[in-house]
Amino acid sequence: MPLYDYECQECGPFVAFSSIEERSAPSFCPDCGRTSRRVISAPNLCLMASGTRKAHAVNERSQHAPRVSRGHQCSAGCGCGTGTSSKKVATTTIPKLGRFQTSSRKSPRPGCWGTSRNGSTAKFPSSIPQQKGFSAI
């Protein structure tokens, strides 16, 4: 529930919690019990963190007078990476170090021994025992 400021005719100002629906309804003074009207006061900015306060100020300023970006302000070749550079950059091509050698055997997965996609059987290494249903070449 938010805090609202009220002013009693007898006791002076006080602060009380009220629901948002009852924000415009009068509240009872905690000292004398009389009904008191709500008053509008300045927000308590000193309780707000400095970063939040600065963000509110920037948002308020940009709502009324937005800052216009003029784009890149540096001259060409400044080195910041956003402007066009007048320097030519030397490029070096790296020759191929070799080709990836693939086997002519087709298998469903790399390192999978057994029947290939075209139906031929692959040779089992001698260290792996043969299973029933597979034949060695």
Note the pLDDT tens digit of each residue in 16-44: 888 888 888 889 998 899 999 999 887 76
Cα-to-chain-centroid distance, residue 62: 23
Is the dihedral angle over the CA atoms 21, 26, 28, 30 positive or is it negative? positive
109 falls in which pLDDT band (50, 70, 90)? low
Number of H helices, E strands in the chain: 1, 4
Using CA atoms, how far residue 76 sits from 68, 83, 87, in Å, is: 22, 5, 10
52 falls in which pLDDT band (50, 70, 90)? confident
Q: What is the rounded average pLDDT for all residues in the chain?
A: 69
User: Does 91 map to a domain?
Assistant: no
Boundaries of domain holding 26: 3-45
User: Does 26 map to a domain?
Assistant: yes
Compute how many other C-beta atoms are within 10 angstroms of the C-beta atom of residue 37. 12
Q: What value does the mean pLDDT take over residues 6-10?
A: 92
Question: 133: which 2 tokens?
Answer: 């249903």
Would the pLDDT of 123 be above 70?
no
Q: What value does the mean pLDDT take over residues 108-126?
A: 55
User: Does 53 map to a domain?
Assistant: no
Check residue 71 and give its pLDDT: 62
User: Does 56 map to a domain?
Assistant: no
User: Does 116 map to a domain?
Assistant: no
Strand 35-38, strand 27-28: pairing: antiparallel
User: Does 120 map to a domain?
Assistant: no
User: Does 57 map to a domain?
Assistant: no
User: Does 17 map to a domain?
Assistant: yes
Most confident range (mean pLDDT) of 38-42, 47-51, 73-77 is 38-42
Check residue 19 and give its pLDDT: 87
- Domains in the chain: how many in total? 1
Would the pLDDT of 7 be above 90?
yes
